[in-house]
Structure 1
């Protein structure tokens, strides 16, 4: 290798280190974001391992070399193969945002173990061509895995960078397949040994990492938006989150033939909640609010919205539901809240809720909410711990 090759290798490692810093920083500011830091470490380790193997292999081709150079070839190839598995692992974790299934972890570990075993065998047999072939094969398998996992990202704005990343991964797979053919003498040896292919390799990896940085940024922004829309005490939507979700939930939800039109709103208010705060303190009140929130979440359907509007007020939004079913849901919640037991809460401070129910068309949720609030006021007025439907519970559904 000449000075230009060493300078290019140093530049690649420096760029990988800078990318690592950016991805680690991104994972720090979005703590729940999975896979981003792992991708940075995997790419940095892969770049360093490939550089070590390339430099040491070039020295071996010049003639007999000390054992330390042979060990560098071994260490570089092993590091590159293991870090390629880390890249694939991190990409799959990032796409899914959860831990990989045991079968997927086992498959990745098996590929990495096979690559390491083949590299060790090459070192023992003093075959200095085989480590390059093993690394190339590992690159092809792991990049194909990454491209396959990225197919899961279908939503805007992830789709465009994910498809670009898939194209880059598949292009690199094709490039390494051609390299495999060149190394096995099925293509002329000089086929890939020119500046065009080397620059293409670096450019595709740059594109791959740039897209990962974009996707990580999108995920981080989504995490911040989710945090801004969630009540920190109960984990339910807050008023801002409810308003943001209502458009998609009520207006944009696809209609299913045979389902009733419109949506229902159930307004809940804890009865005499101020007495609990005044008698036992806000810590006890917070326990009650969390308990009621869990009860609400356990009673509603998976696609219903549950929000805490502030203080002791809660709201449930149910799309595509009849009024009778909404009233049954409200009564079920009321009875289950009344049966809740809280440590340290005396019987005279039993937790109950009053509920107001209204139903209307999906696009006029403000009017439905006002009707539900009016029904809640009537439930309070008539003795609390009861469910009341709005006086005209479906005004927006009636024809003029």
Structure 2
């Protein structure tokens, strides 16, 4: 979306037209919709802008729920936007630390700033891009304690705020088909500048979950967050925003609630043991936080193989931090013998999970020539360093 399209969209006619559209549905007859809107007298630019927003609102429902139907987006902004449920936890940190004036630097479409304003923090949302800042202004309009600045992060005066929240741009410039930046030194603002500020005042930083752990400052609390099993971010917290004694945390948000495992440092792995009746796959947040050892000790479980994120035990322990599987059978790891074994069991539908082996599940599934009415889950991994094929079922 460029500036001209945004001007069309923000006109009274544009907003009325956008809100009058039925919910976007993939596969709908877009040509017919465009034709009907043009016949009604709307300009091509306006029609393009409202249909673009309608599609983004539908996509944004996964992050913003019902709020998405009253928000505006850019494609790049939505891609990097914090889920509202996670943003509320971010905002809660500032509330608990009694830090009332917050600058949201690199605010994007304003997701985190919305959560902060909803908790009655005085938040200044700042973005260098004019279109993005305008979209954030629209989304934050209902909140009296929120304001928006179109400015460079370098121009922010930290003395005007109690704390800073940074969501560095981790994608190439633009509003549409941007690509992810692979090098942290290309982020904007630069992380060295952010960390320098964190030595002087409370700072929170949102980064990708795969961010290089070697670049995490020793003074930061690093918290990895997963939502319904999907790893979504790593947050770094400094000063009053960091919890005493915690340097590693794995936070899981599920439909059943919230669970968190914390530690003062990376945990030491437990020894490798023999394959038991149960196999456990830790949540991605546990893996990235390197808390597998602490999880294993809490479950009286052992590593299946050194350096691989699978645990095993003879007994079942319920935990929100790992998916449990019962080991039904150990099958031959050789592909030809494995194909025969699966055919004998009449398995025609197969979920393939792998870790520590060089295999493409989609290609292997084709080569296995599966036929039959049964379904199963196959885990290809290593046990005590040796390749194994495990037929399992979810507990």
Larger Rg, first or second structure (1 or 2) = 1
User: Structures share a fold, TM > 0.5?
Assistant: no
Using structure 2 for the length normalisation, give the TM-score: 0.26
The structure in which a higher percent of residues are helix is: 1
Which protein, 1 or 2, shows the higher relative CO under an 8 Å CA cutoff with sep ≥ 6?
A: 1
The structure in which a higher percent of residues are strand is: 2
Using structure 1 for the length normalisation, give the TM-score: 0.26
